[in-house]
Amino acid sequence: MITLLDGFRIVDATSNFIGHVVVENGVIIDVIGLDESLEDKKPLFSKYLMSATQIIRGRGDLYLMPGFIDMHAHFRYPGFSEKETLESASLAAARGGWTTVVCMANTNPVIDTIELAADIKCRSDALRLIDLYPVLSLTKGMMGKELSEIALLKNQKAGYMPLLLSEDGKDIADDEVFLSALRCAAELDIPVSCHCDLQNEAAAIQRAINLGLKAGCPLHIAHVSTKESVDIIEKTKWEHREFALTAEVTPHHLLLTNDDALRLGENTFGKVAPPLSSKKDRSALLDALDDDTIDVIATDHAPHTQADKEGGAPGFSGLETAFPVLWDTLIDNDEFTEQSLSHYLSAAPARILGLDDRGLIRKGMRADIVVLDPEKKTTIKFADFYSRGKNSPFLERDYNGKILFTMANGRIVENGW
């Protein structure tokens, strides 16, 4: 089956032009600029036009971008179905334009065995919605004492191999245990995502970096939220250019401040870990994204029930809201370009995770595609969430930019056109 996406503005980290994308068997088999289709490639374009099973027309004013890649989400499976299920989280991801997601291991039981991670991957694949990669925890039960099965990964001839390892928000208090885990990850060349929640954020980041340098392990710093943290990451990247250090920021830390936390209820619906920070911190995060001190935007999707939030559970649901709030706030206000946003959401996470078959709109890449209308309004409503967690700080607001459909591996998995 050939699908012709005809006449879209094609935008990725390095491209911005009007053209056509041809998809067959889950792969982009051709990308044709409008000028090419009228000249050198006109006969080939005519052939695609005649043989296409499905033609989707973009009119030149709709955008076509690579599917987004989320390096940090909580799917709550197994063990917390009242908060989220594999299906509800995957539907939410598809609606939000996320075609590849890394989900964290703080589940019940904790994802600390290869068998459990592989089972979750298999169950997710069976849904045929998104490409999900469960994280393996660093220690058994996230207790910080004994290594999980990460040491067995290097002996695996086949089977599931995680793209990221993490102890999530628990960190590991014992330096020797942490260092041992980092050395295992270094042998595997798998990045360790450090959430740096053990003490104050900046001190925890500095500790993780010191141990990461000692182990020679690629490190990824999750949900950076303060200027002090940014300064440490920038200094390390400058002084240790051979060190594989990357960092992420969330939409809520990028766009909101502690004033929003107070408005929402800093101990209930405005509570998140790490907390929303000052205007000075928010400005530093924007600057750090602009100069590549921070590499990617990740949602830290953390669904909770209404009762959870009323009881003080930290976290926001972010899979369905990230794109419109980022587009409206960063692109429409000329903070960033469409290409830079695609870099942070697709190309950069693909590079960090070693996924060389996605993240750009190129011939031979997976057909992970998002089509959007930059002018159409998105209203974020409680009742519209696919996620079971409706805990968003952006509720009841209108934003420019609406995702019309999401294609994952050549299949349309969400169609809101």
Identify whether residues 42 and 163 lie together within a single domain. no
Known active-site residue 175: no
User: Which residue type occupies 382?
Assistant: F
In terms of domains, do 375 and 349 share one? no
Q: Are residues 57 and 89 in the same domain?
A: no
260 DSSP 8-state letter: H
pLDDT tens, position by position, 129-186: 999 999 999 999 999 999 999 989 987 655 799 999 999 988 899 999 999 999 999 9
Other beta carbons less than 10 A from residue 120's beta carbon: 22
Among the options 171, 300, 368, 373, which is catalytic? 300
**What predicted TM-score, i.e. pTM, was given to this entire model?**
0.96
Rounded Cα distance, 417 and 402, in Å: 9
User: What pLDDT was estimated at residue 154?
Assistant: 83
Q: Contact 64/20 with Cβ under 8 angstroms? A: no
How many distinct structural domains can be found in the chain?
2
Residue 404 belongs to some domain of the structure: yes
> SS3 for 218-250, per residue?
CEEECCCCCHHHHHHHHHHHHHCCCCCEEEEEC
Clarify whether residues 139 and 195 are in a common domain. yes
Q: Are residues 281 and 180 in the same domain?
A: yes
Claim to verify: residue 132 and residue 271 sit in the same structural domain: yes
pLDDT score, position 38: 57
Q: What b/e sequence results for 11-26 when a residue is b if at least 16 CB atoms lie within 10 Å of its CB, and e otherwise?
A: bbbebeebbbbbbbee
Q: Are residues 42 and 73 in the same domain?
A: no
Kindly state the percentage of the chain with pLDDT values over 90: 88
CA distance 104 to 117: 10
Q: What is the mean pLDDT of residues 95-99?
A: 98
Closest alpha carbon to 229 in 271, 280, 187, 180: 280
- The pLDDT confidence band at residue 37, using thresholds 50, 70 and 90, is low
